[in-house]
A = this chain, B = another copy of it.
Amino acid sequence: MRIISSIQEMQSYSESIRKQKKIVGIVPTMGFLHDGHSSLIRIAKQNADIVVTSIFVNPTQFAPHEDFDKYPRDIERDKNVSSMAGTDVLFIPDVKEIYLENYTTFIEVEKLSSILEGKFRSTHFRGVTTIVAKLFNITNANIAVFGQKDAQQAILIQQMVKDLNFDLRIIVAPIVRESDGLAMSSRNVYLSASEREDSTVLYQSLQIAKTMIENGEHHSSTIISEMIKLIKSKPSTQIDYVSIAKVSSLDEVTNFQKGNCLLISLAVRVGSTRLIDNIILTI
């Protein structure tokens, strides 16, 4: 596995690979890699000749009060995990080279960036789409793999790719979960033992929704009430949102119709740790 930190070196290397008519895949991460990331890397490897995994804790997607400074980092372990999963190039750029002095350019996917997560993290997606576009340009990738855990992020990035005509295919990979259902996340490390236990209600509430829909319930409000009831049964939790929306537009759905493809998503603070999770269902 080659490690590159210079943008210019990454760009030249990718250009040389593309000229050999090989496929370049990119897996953008913020590091502190877990089995979810390994799964993304493996999927990239199945779809590309050369897999670039990037590690960059992107300051522009954190608000001042958020956890940028304390976001977990372990670069040595990341090297092992990414190499084991099949990374060919580990790209670890320096923040000063990514955001040069007088940096001023931002990409915004309007509407989609201001709902759900965007309501609670107003500049988050602007930071995400901007860094992702930069990584696409730096790695000149043909494919990019993102996790479904950040479902809204994946939808936004697909919209950006379509709108800005990036010549690149997005693959969205399934969520990898702990044995009790908790979606893997670098932020799970923040949870105390009791919070970790309480956090299983996120996935359980999604399972309740799935079961209710399978049993014929088609009013969002009835389903969301049940989900909220379960989550609130754990006093360490505080709900930011529980949403049932169309995958295509992220518009909230009140009554389901046959053929609807739904994103059921939620954000819940467990203690001081903010967790998100979701499932996608076709009615």
Seen from chain A, the residues whose Cβ lies within 8 Å of a Cβ on chain B are 7, 11, 15, 18-19, 21, 100, 102-112, 129-130, 133-134, 137-138, 140, 159-160, 162-167, 249
A105 to B110, CA, bound (A): 6
Residues B100 and A104 in contact, CB atoms below 8 Å apart = no
Query: Which chain B residues border A108 with CB–CB below 8 Å?
Result: 105-108
- State which of B15, B112, B130, B167 has its C-beta within 8 Å of the C-beta of A137: B167
Contact A133 to B164, CB < 8 A, known contacts A105-B108, A111-B104? yes
Contacts A104-B159, A137-B166 supplied; 15 other A-B pairs, CB < 8 Å: A7-B165, A19-B19, A100-B163, A102-B249, A104-B112, A104-B163, A105-B108, A105-B159, A105-B163, A106-B107, A106-B110, A107-B164, A108-B108, A134-B164, A134-B165
Contact A160 to B110, CB < 8 A, known contacts A11-B167, A138-B165, A165-B138? no
A138 smallest CB distance to B (angstroms): 5
A248 smallest CB distance to B (angstroms): 9
Query: Which chain B residues border A137 with CB–CB below 8 Å?
Result: 164-167
Query: Which chain B residues border A19 with CB–CB below 8 Å?
Result: 18-19, 21
Query: Which chain B residues border A160 with CB–CB below 8 Å?
Result: 105
Contact A11 to B105, CB < 8 A, known contacts A18-B18, A19-B19, A19-B21? no
Closest to A126 in B: B108
Query: Which chain B residues border A134 with CB–CB below 8 Å?
Result: 163-165
Query: Which chain B residues border A130 with CB–CB below 8 Å?
Result: 164
Residues A165 and B11 in contact, CB atoms below 8 Å apart = yes
Q: What are 30 A-B contacts with C-beta separation under 8 Å? A: A7-B165, A11-B167, A15-B167, A18-B18, A18-B19, A100-B162, A100-B163, A103-B163, A104-B109, A104-B111, A104-B112, A105-B107, A105-B160, A105-B163, A106-B107, A106-B108, A106-B110, A107-B107, A107-B164, A108-B108, A130-B164, A133-B164, A134-B163, A134-B164, A137-B165, A137-B166, A137-B167, A138-B165, A138-B167, A140-B167
A207 to B159, CA, bound (A): 48
A-B CB proximity, top 5 nearest:
A105-B163, A137-B165, A104-B110, A138-B165, A105-B109
Residues B167 and A105 in contact, CB atoms below 8 Å apart = no
Query: Which chain B residues border A100 with CB–CB below 8 Å?
Result: 162-163
A129 to B111, CA, bound (A): 20
Query: Which chain B residues border A104 with CB–CB below 8 Å?
Result: 109-112, 159, 163
